[in-house]
Structure 1
């Protein structure tokens, strides 16, 4: 059976191909009677409408923003930080009448075809490891690009926070309360799926720049307080989940001597640490202080954390791309805030 095209319909109705095209794309240019006749013939021939990909190529735009997201789609709609960012980005897209295409690249996935084949007008790159093949593919497309969290690429707009300063603020909070036995649980250092104790070399060689800098902030604050960083127990997890935080909590709290304060780089991990403390019958904050990061769904749990403007960052990223100013080099550093709640207190007296 021959493929039905605009020309097929035009020949049947006795009009030009451009007139048929107007019936689908610019109906206001035709009389209602003519448009109705064209649509009836199209329906009779089983024609659903112009190919959207071909139409986007003709117009020179796709009508969609592309988000490079370094996790699964399921994670994108479950992680509180991601949800907040997506809400901001979607708001900007919706206000401009364009769509949002999420391009998931899970940890360890080195493919770049997803980026190469995406029909989008611009890219928002969120937390992609420096040197990832998909990053080179993004820039090869010659479209506007905004990078969020990492990596910083000179010549392209970057949105994030001062990671070392924010992490140091979190650490100094428990140190000023008097804690000296500090433990750390972190996710997002490497892409190899490793979970367990992280050596100094592994910490320093992390492929994710933002997390490497965040870890550096913890170290700086501890060393300022006279704590030998090499003696700080550091547990790394492969995935940002509450169960992973629970596992890290059991490992850290099984040490002798046991940490009196635990720093985490996400609120999700911190909630898992609280679960582990409950398993062991430890009272928070009397026997253990816990600090999260991002202020994502942390208020209900009474979690002390660093607040990030996640929704504002998403909206700003979208507006930069949509305004056409994404080609102008710019580094936007957003504020952060230490939110002190009920999960931190001075260490128990021994």
Structure 2
């Protein structure tokens, strides 16, 4: 027997080399208990001799009508899954429920139009759309696959898109109200991106109103609603960042160059808040003695910062679990689910410097009033 060159060896070649039927050769690889040991060894020896590596798992899975894997697609580079604290926490939740169901996970990046072939060609049973940057492209490609899919953000997606997420307006209200109750009157917002143009810097109301990314817009709306309810309806500086140290540093430098710097920062993500904490500590600005800061997400790392971060906690693992359940649901049921957030109060918030005597339970209108 000689090794086959010029093309990949096939199962029929193994059968011919071993002098057995194709069915027998197939059983050796797929149902070996049906074949006598002596015959099995002969077929396997023939396979090694001609360079046959075994059945193509892709073909076997496709013939079964299922690949037993879920794709998680994002408009970010694949490194986002490992670098961003929220993404890491979400993937942990997705992986745990997939493990419990014996299902694999495939990470898919679709950062450019031409990269959407990753979605179209991915060997998966369904798709979880993580982050909705480029949402229309991701949704259109997912629909073209005719596979179950679910978005991890309610956002501005239409009502025909299955989705699991949180009420960003309500969550942001919790953060702003907490700081207002503590007695803060001078606020600033460190925002996530409003659009995919890569801009950062001060954001005017029009930039917020026309935001392509609903969570960034809705969290600003929630902050301002709660402050208005507390009788604090003045202009609040909003600085758009790209959630990286450079843009956050620029925003903080601008805020602390103002004649009256803020005493409270509303950060639209824990990642932004944690970078801000490092910047403040490096300049001797004590948190919460000199300034308070509230994040958003509830990632595990937030409990380990100095001081521990007060944050609006999303049920990250539960979002991931329900998304996987929607993909695995063979009944074809349609679901859009909004999960509740809660405020986790830790050491990064306190009354403002001039009002240390103000009680954290000072009277304000009831939430939602």
CA drift of 1:164 comes to 0.5
Calculate the TM-score normalised by the size of structure 2.
0.87
Q: What is the CA–CA distance in structure 2 between the aligned matches of 1:134 and 1:337, rounded to whole Å?
A: 30
Calculate the TM-score normalised by the size of structure 1.
0.92
CA drift of 1:159 comes to 1.0
Cα pair 1:96 1:322 within 8 Å, conserved? no
1:97 match: secondary structure: coil
Q: Deviations over 1:292-340 (max 9, x none)?
A: 0112111122111111111222122223312325x31212222221011
Residue 148 of structure 2 corresponds to 144
Q: What is the CA–CA distance in structure 1 between the aligned matches of 2:255 and 2:33, rounded to whole Å?
A: 68
1:298 match: secondary structure: helix
Candidates 96, 104, 108, aligned match of 1:103: 108
1:252 match: secondary structure: helix
Q: What is the CA–CA distance in structure 1 between the aligned matches of 2:21 and 2:237, rounded to whole Å?
A: 75
Cα pair 1:182 1:263 within 8 Å, conserved? yes
CA drift of 1:130 comes to 6.2
Which has the higher Rg, Structure 1 or Structure 2? Answer: 2
Structure 2 unmatched runs, 5+:
356-369
Candidates 34, 43, 46, aligned match of 2:48: 43
Q: Deviations over 1:199-258 (max 9, x none)?
A: 1111111111222222211121122223336x21111112x2355433322222222211
Aligned-residue CA RMSD in angstroms? Answer: 2.0
Q: Deviations over 1:260-315 (max 9, x none)?
A: 10101111111122223223322211211100011211112211111111122212
Residue 328 of structure 1 corresponds to 333
- Residue 72 (structure 2) pairs with residue 30 (structure 1): no
CA drift of 1:91 comes to 1.6
Q: Structure 1 residues 31 and 249 mapped into 2: Cα distance closer, same or farther (>3 Å)?
A: farther
- Residue 317 (structure 2) pairs with residue 311 (structure 1): yes
Cα pair 2:75 2:134 within 8 Å, conserved? no
Aligned residues: 345
Residue 75 of structure 1 corresponds to 80
- Residue 219 (structure 2) pairs with residue 214 (structure 1): yes
Structure 1 unmatched runs, 5+:
none
Residue 270 of structure 2 corresponds to 267
Q: Deviations over 1:53-99 (max 9, x none)?
A: 33333222222110012322222112221111111111222222222
Q: What is the CA–CA distance in structure 2 between the aligned matches of 1:316 and 1:9, rounded to whole Å?
A: 45
Cα pair 2:71 2:124 within 8 Å, conserved? yes
Residue 247 of structure 1 corresponds to 250
Cα pair 1:126 1:150 within 8 Å, conserved? no
